[in-house]
Amino acid sequence: MTKRPVFTGAGVALVTPMHPDGQVNEAKLRELVEFQIAEGTDALIAVGTTGEASTLNMQEHMRVVEVVIEQANRRVPVIAGTGSNDTAHCMNSCRMAQKLGADGLLLVTPYYNKTSQRGLIAHYTQVATATDLPMILYNVPSRTGVNMLPETVATLYRTVDNVMGLKQANGDLASAAKVLSLCDIPLYSGNDNEITATLAIGGQGVISVLSNVVPRVVHDLCAAWFRGDPATCRQLQLHWLALANALFSDVNPIPVKAAMNLMGMAVGDCRLPLYTMEDKALEALREVLCRYQLIE
């Protein structure tokens, strides 16, 4: 069974910009959407991990989704992060995002609860009854405490009609390959240092933190692969690897917001409990940005 991908190429895991008082900066968010579209980004992912979903209340969460949808104006797909560790809450979020006009949903595995594989199947099967939007499963065990096994992904892909993708962010390419050996689910890298490797085993692209900083690079990397130019794809991956790694030198999205601020993009700080980088780490990030001539 083949299902059409929600998008192919470079999707950006958008940061949520904040004012100095910690409130969401909607004007800046609209600027970021325009910047991403102008630079060739293939999809916008709103309010995922990088968008600080865990510290936005429901009203703020849905307003960010709404602003991104409004500003994108159907020029590229908008995928709303609506995952939760509460199945009922997750279902309600999915309904609201669909009503706002989202093109798809990104659904992180339930965090903290640490459910079983059977529980994951039950959770996503139940969530699917609340929406007919395409659902992208999101596996990031370092944040959630639970790893979704390849067999679980394959079961959901085969049995739930609107499960149409997997963001794999567990750092295990062998696991990603096993997923694709079991089913043909559209696979997206969740790690910027693994984009080329994911494409090489049959992936459809990336949901990228790096794209917040250099969206044209990530778009071009994916585009090179799909036009049959693996050498350029590989060269871009290796050239930008140090920056991709630097953006994970602290808990995401602390470094990427710091980088964007250093570049003059004024996206503000993260909400507590995420905190600013230590001076030594910030200076190391500054040096990487200078090396790539992104700042002086």
> What pLDDT does 59 receive?
97
The SS3 call for residue 265 is coil
The pTM of the full predicted model, rounded to 2 decimals, is 0.96
The SS3 call for residue 294 is coil
| pLDDT, tens only, 260-288 | 999 999 999 999 999 999 999 999 999 99
Q: Which of 124, 138, 157, 188 is catalytic?
A: 138
Considering the chain, what percentage of its residues have pLDDT values greater than 70? 99
Q: Average pLDDT for residues 134-159, to the nearest whole number?
A: 97
> What pLDDT does 2 receive?
65
Catalytic-residue membership of 280? no
pLDDT greater than 70 at residue 91 = yes
Catalytic-residue membership of 124? no
| pLDDT, tens only, 203-256 | 999 999 999 999 999 999 999 999 999 999 999 999 999 999 999 999 999 999
Q: Which of 124, 157, 167, 257 is catalytic?
A: 167
DSSP secondary structure letter of residue 13: E
Question: What is 53-115 written as a DSSP string?
Answer: GGGS-HHHHHHHHHHHHHHHTTSS-EEEE---SSHHHHHHHHHHHHHHT-SEEEEEPPPSS--
Band of pLDDT at residue 3, cut at 50, 70 and 90: confident
| pLDDT, tens only, 182-195 | 999 999 999 999 99
Band of pLDDT at residue 197, cut at 50, 70 and 90: very high
Neighbour-count burial of 21, counting CB atoms closer than 10 A to its CB (0-12 exposed, 13-18 middle, 19+ buried): exposed
Band of pLDDT at residue 1, cut at 50, 70 and 90: low
β-strands 104-108, 78-81 pairing: parallel
Query: How distant, in Å, are the alpha carbons of 61, 67, 186, 189 from that of 26?
Result: 12, 7, 32, 28
Q: Give the Cα-Cα-Cα angle 218, 222, 223 (nearest 5 degrees).
A: 110
> What pLDDT does 258 receive?
98
